[in-house]
C-alpha cells in the first residue's frame, strides 16, 4: 500500500466513528435486546418475552394489518401518479413548466407536522373544507377521524400528497436520461405516443420505478408521524395504528425496549422480503 | 402540415386538461395552510366555505406564542439545522473523498455496509440510540443530543464520492509532485471543485434537520429545549388551543423552506434525484 493511501483513514475516521457509535452498535444492540426481557433488572435472555409474545399479540396483528393495507394501496397509487406527473412534466408541449413543477414538488419540502395540522383541519367532520366541498356536489359528510376505513383512506391520501412529487423527481431524472434518438425511429414509423410510452419508455424506466417502489415500501413500512398526528395516535381505537406507532408505544411509552426491538427487526425483515419480492417480479426475463 | 399542427394542439390541450386540475389539487393543502394561518379561530370553524386569506396572521402568531414558546423553538431549530448541515457536509465530504480517491484495505467492505444501511428501517437503530444518549450518557435535552446522532448519512457519502471520483486525477497528481500535503489537496483543490454537489447536499441535509420530528420528539422533551416541529406537534390534538396559531406556526415552518426551494430549485432537485443515481 502506498504511503499516501494511509491518509484515507484520516479522512474516513470521523465519519466511521459516528457510523460505528450510532448505527453499527445500535444494529447489534437492538438485535440482542430483542432476545432479552428488558422489564426486569438486570435484563435477562428470554425468547418468549418478546418474540414469543409478538406472534400472539393481537395488537401486533392489528398494526401489521393496517400497515400492509396502507402499503398495498398507497405505494402503487403513488408510484402510478408520480410516473404520470413525471411523463407529463417532461412533455415538450408543456407551458408554465416552472409552475407545475412547483405544484408537484413543493409538498416534498413541507414538514410532517405542518402538513399533519393542515390535513386535520381540511378533513374535519363539521368544519372541514373537504366535507363542505363534498356536500356541495351532493355527497354526505364523511367522518374521516371516527371511522377506521375513512381514517385509513385519509392517511393514504395524505402520504400520497406528501411523497408523489418526491418520486416524480426521481422518475423525471430517469426520463431525461433516455436519449431522444430512441424515439426517432418510432416516430418515423408513426408509432403513437402512447404505444411509444408502453413499449419504449416504461421498459427503460423499470429499474428507476423499482427503486422508487422499494424506497416507498421502506418508507410506508415505517409510517409513524401521520397516524401519530393526523389520526390522533392511531385512532379511532387503533384503527390506523401502524407498526411504527405500535413500536413507539411499546418502546417509548411503555419503555419496553426488548419488545420494541423485536418489532423493529420484524419491520426490517418485512421490508427486505417485500423488496426482494419486487425485485423478483421486476427481473429481466432473458 | 395543418393536420399535424392540429394534432399537436389537441395533444397540448389534453396535456393541460390533465395537469391543471392535478396541480390545483396538489397546491390546495398549501394554499389552505396560508388561508387558515390568516383566519381567526371562528373563521376556521365557520360553516361557510372560506377560501380566501383574512388578516389575522400576527394575532395567530401571538396566540401560538401564548400556547408554547415558539420563537425559542424556531431559534433552536435554525441553530441545530445550521450546525448539523455544516458538520454533516464536512464529514460526508471527507469520507466521500477517501472512498473516491484512495486505495486501502477494507474499502469495499465500508462501501458495502454503508449501502446496506439504506434499506434498513430507522426504527432498528433509534431504540439503542435513545438508550445510549438518554440513559447511559444522560444527555437528553442537550444540543449535542439533537445534532450528533443524526450525523450519519449514507446517501450523502455516495453522492460526494461520485462527485470526487469524476474529477481528473492529473489535477491532484500535479499537486502531489509539488509536495502539497493530502489534506491541503482536499481542502484547496477538491472541495472548491465539488461546490455544486456540496450545495445540493447541504440543502437536502438542512431540510432533513429542519423537518426532523421523531428523534427530537424522543430526546428533547423538556419545555425550552423543544425544536419547532416538536413544539407545534405537542399542540395538535389538545383541546384548548388556538388552531389559527398552529397554522401560523405551520406557515413559519414551511414558508422559509418554500422560499429556499423556489430560489434553489435546481440544487434541490439534483439532491433528491441523486438518490436514484448509483
The pLDDT mean for chain B works out to 91
Place of cell 355527497: A139
Cβ contacts of B29 on chain A, cutoff 8 Å: 107, 115, 118-119, 122, 161
| Nearest Cα residue in chain B from A82 | B22
State yes or no: cis peptide before A42, omega within 30 of 0.
yes
CB contact under 8 A, A12 and B94: yes
- Model pLDDT for residues B127-182, shown as the tens digit of each residue: 999 999 999 999 999 999 999 999 998 889 999 999 999 999 998 999 999 989 99
* Closest in B95, B117, B237 to A232, CB measured: B237
CB contact under 8 A, B129 and A26: yes
Nearest Cα neighbor of A150 from A129, A121, A124, A132 is A124
Q: How far is A262 from chain B (nearest CA, A)?
A: 9
CB contact under 8 A, B229 and A208: no
CB contact under 8 A, B95 and A15: yes
In the prediction, which pLDDT does A19 show?
A: 95
Cβ contacts of A10 on chain B, cutoff 8 Å: 182-183
* Closest in B121, B127, B246 to A218, CB measured: B121
Structure-block grid coordinates of residue A82: 408520480
Q: A286 pLDDT exceeds 80?
A: no
| Nearest Cα residue in chain B from A23 | B125
In the prediction, which pLDDT does B214 show?
A: 96
- Model pLDDT for residues B39-83, shown as the tens digit of each residue: 998 888 888 888 899 999 999 999 999 999 999 999 999 999 999
Q: How far is B69 from chain A (nearest CA, A)?
A: 17
Structure-block grid coordinates of residue B118: 439504506
Nearest Cα neighbor of A15 from B113, B103, B145 is B113
Cβ contacts of A255 on chain B, cutoff 8 Å: none
Q: How far is A167 from chain B (nearest CA, A)?
A: 9
In the prediction, which pLDDT does A190 show?
A: 81
CB contact under 8 A, A224 and B129: no
CB contact under 8 A, A6 and B104: yes
- Model pLDDT for residues A258-267, shown as the tens digit of each residue: 999 999 999 9
Residue B253's contacts (CB-CB under 8 Å, 6 or more residues apart) are A111, A113, A114, B210, B211, B228, B229, B232
CB contact under 8 A, A218 and B19: no
CB contact under 8 A, B121 and A12: no
* Closest in A11, A27, A172 to B94, CB measured: A11
Q: B37-45: long-range contacts at Cβ-Cβ below 8 A with a sequence spacing of 24 or more?
A: B37/B244, B37/B247, B37/B248, B37/B250, B37/B251, B39/B244, B39/B247, B40/B244, B41/B242, B41/B243, B41/B244, B43/B244, B44/A121, B44/A127, B44/B243, B44/B244, B44/B247, B45/A124, B45/A126, B45/A127, B45/B243
Cβ contacts of A25 on chain B, cutoff 8 Å: 128, 132
Q: B13 pLDDT exceeds 80?
A: yes
- Model pLDDT for residues A38-86, shown as the tens digit of each residue: 998 899 998 889 999 999 999 999 999 999 999 999 999 999 999 999 9
Residue B125's contacts (CB-CB under 8 Å, 6 or more residues apart) are A22, A23, A26, A27, A30
Structural domains in chain A, CATH included, are 49-281 (1.10.3720.10)
CB contact under 8 A, B120 and A27: yes
CB contact under 8 A, A117 and B246: yes
Cβ contacts of A4 on chain B, cutoff 8 Å: 102, 176, 182
Percent of chain B beyond pLDDT 70? 98
Q: Which pLDDT band, with edges at 50, 70 and 90, does A111 fall under?
A: very high
Cβ contacts of A122 on chain B, cutoff 8 Å: 29, 32
Q: Is the dihedral of CA A149, A152, A156, A162 positive or negative?
A: positive
Cβ contacts of A14 on chain B, cutoff 8 Å: 91, 94-95
ipTM higher than the 0.90 cut:
yes
CB contact under 8 A, B103 and A122: no
- Model pLDDT for residues A163-207, shown as the tens digit of each residue: 999 999 999 999 998 888 888 888 788 888 888 888 888 999 998
Buried residues in B29-59 as b, exposed as e (16+ CB within 10 A):
bbebbbbbbbbbbebbeeeeebeeebebbeb
CB contact under 8 A, B273 and A113: no
| Nearest Cα residue in chain A from B20 | A100
CB contact under 8 A, B236 and A120: yes
Amino acid at each position: 500500500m502506498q504511503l499516501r493511501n494511509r491518509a484515507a483513514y484520516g479522512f474516513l475516521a470521523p465519519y466511521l466513528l459516528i457510523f460505528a457509535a450510532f448505527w453499527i452498535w445500535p444494529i447489534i444492540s437492538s438485535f440482542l435486546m430483542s432476545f432479552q426481557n428488558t422489564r426486569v433488572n438486570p435484563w435477562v435472555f428470554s425468547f418468549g418475552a418478546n418474540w414469543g409474545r409478538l406472534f400472539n399479540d393481537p395488537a401486533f396483528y392489528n398494526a401489521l394489518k393496517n400497515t400492509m393495507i396502507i402499503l398495498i394501496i398507497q405505494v402503487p397509487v403513488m408510484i402510478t401518479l408520480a410516473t404520470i406527473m413525471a411523463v407529463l412534466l417532461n412533455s415538450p408541449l408543456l407551458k408554465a413548466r416552472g409552475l407545475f413543477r412547483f405544484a408537484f414538488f413543493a409538498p416534498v419540502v413541507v414538514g410532517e407536522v405542518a402538513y399533519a395540522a393542515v390535513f386535520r383541519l381540511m378533513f374535519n367532520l363539521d368544519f372541514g373544507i373537504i366535507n363542505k366541498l363534498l356536500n356541495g356536489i351532493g355527497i354526505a359528510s364523511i367522518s374521516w377521524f371516527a371511522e377506521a376505513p375513512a381514517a385509513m383512506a385519509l392517511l393514504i391520501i395524505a402520504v400520497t400528497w406528501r411523497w408523489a412529487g418526491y418520486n416524480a423527481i426521481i422518475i423525471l431524472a430517469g426520463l431525461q436520461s433516455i436519449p431522444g434518438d430512441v424515439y426517432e425511429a418510432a416516430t418515423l414509423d408513426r408509432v403513437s405516443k402512447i404505444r411509444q410510452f408502453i413499449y419504449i419508455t416504461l421498459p427503460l424506466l423499470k429499474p428507476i420505478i423499482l427503486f422508487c417502489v422499494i424506497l416507498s415500501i421502506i418508507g410506508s413500512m415505517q409510517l409513524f408521524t401521520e397516524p401519530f398526528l393526523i389520526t390522533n395516535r392511531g385512532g379511532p381505537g387503533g384503527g390506523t395504528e401502524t407498526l411504527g406507532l405500535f413500536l413507539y408505544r411499546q418502546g417509548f411509552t411503555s419503555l419496553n425496549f426488548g419488545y420494541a426491538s423485536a418489532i423493529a427487526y420484524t419491520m426490517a425483515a418485512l421490508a427486505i422480503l417485500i423488496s426482494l419480492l419486487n425485485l423478483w417480479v421486476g427481473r429481466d426475463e432473458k | 402540415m395543418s393536420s399535424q399542427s392540429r394534432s399537436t394542439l389537441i395533444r397540448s390541450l389534453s396535456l393541460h386538461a390533465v395537469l391543471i386540475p392535478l396541480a390545483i389539487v396538489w397546491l390546495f393543502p398549501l394554499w389552505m395552510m396560508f388561508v387558515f394561518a390568516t383566519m381567526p379561530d371562528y373563521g376556521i370553524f365557520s360553516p361557510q366555505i372560506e377560501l380566501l386569506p383574512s388578516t389575522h396572521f400576527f394575532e395567530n402568531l401571538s396566540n401560538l406564542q401564548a400556547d408554547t414558546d415558539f420563537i425559542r423553538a424556531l431559534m433552536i431549530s435554525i441553530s441545530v439545522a445550521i450546525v448539523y448541515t455544516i458538520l454533516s457536509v464536512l464529514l460526508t465530504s471527507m469520507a466521500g473523498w477517501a472512498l473516491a480517491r484512495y486505495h486501502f484495505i477494507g474499502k469495499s467492505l465500508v462501501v458495502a455496509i454503508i449501502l446496506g444501511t439504506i434499506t434498513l428501517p430507522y426504527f432498528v437503530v433509534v431504540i439503542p440510540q435513545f438508550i445510549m444518549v438518554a440513559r447511559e450518557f444522560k444527555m437528553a435535552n442537550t444540543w449535542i443530543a439533537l445534532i450528533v446522532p443524526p450525523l450519519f448519512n449514507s446517501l450523502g457519502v455516495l453522492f460526494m464520492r461520485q462527485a470526487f471520483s469524476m474529477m481528473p486525477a492529473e489535477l491532484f497528481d500535479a499537486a502531489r509532485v509539488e509536495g502539497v500535503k493530502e489534506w491541503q489537496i482536499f481542502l484547496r483543490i477538491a472541495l472548491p471543485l465539488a461546490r455544486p454537489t456540496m450545495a445540493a447536499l447541504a440543502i437536502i441535509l438542512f431540510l432533513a434537520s429542519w423537518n426532523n420530528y421523531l428523534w427530537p420528539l424522543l430526546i428533547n422533551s423538556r419545555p425550552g429545549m423543544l425544536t419547532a416541529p416538536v413544539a407545534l406537534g405537542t399542540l395538535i390534538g389538545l383541546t384548548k388551543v388556538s388552531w389559527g396559531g398552529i397554522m401560523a406556526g405551520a406557515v413559519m415552518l414551511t414558508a422559509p423552506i418554500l422560499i429556499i426551494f423556489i430560489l434553489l430549485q435546481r440544487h434541490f432537485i439534483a439532491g433528491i434525484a441523486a438518490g436514484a443515481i448509483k
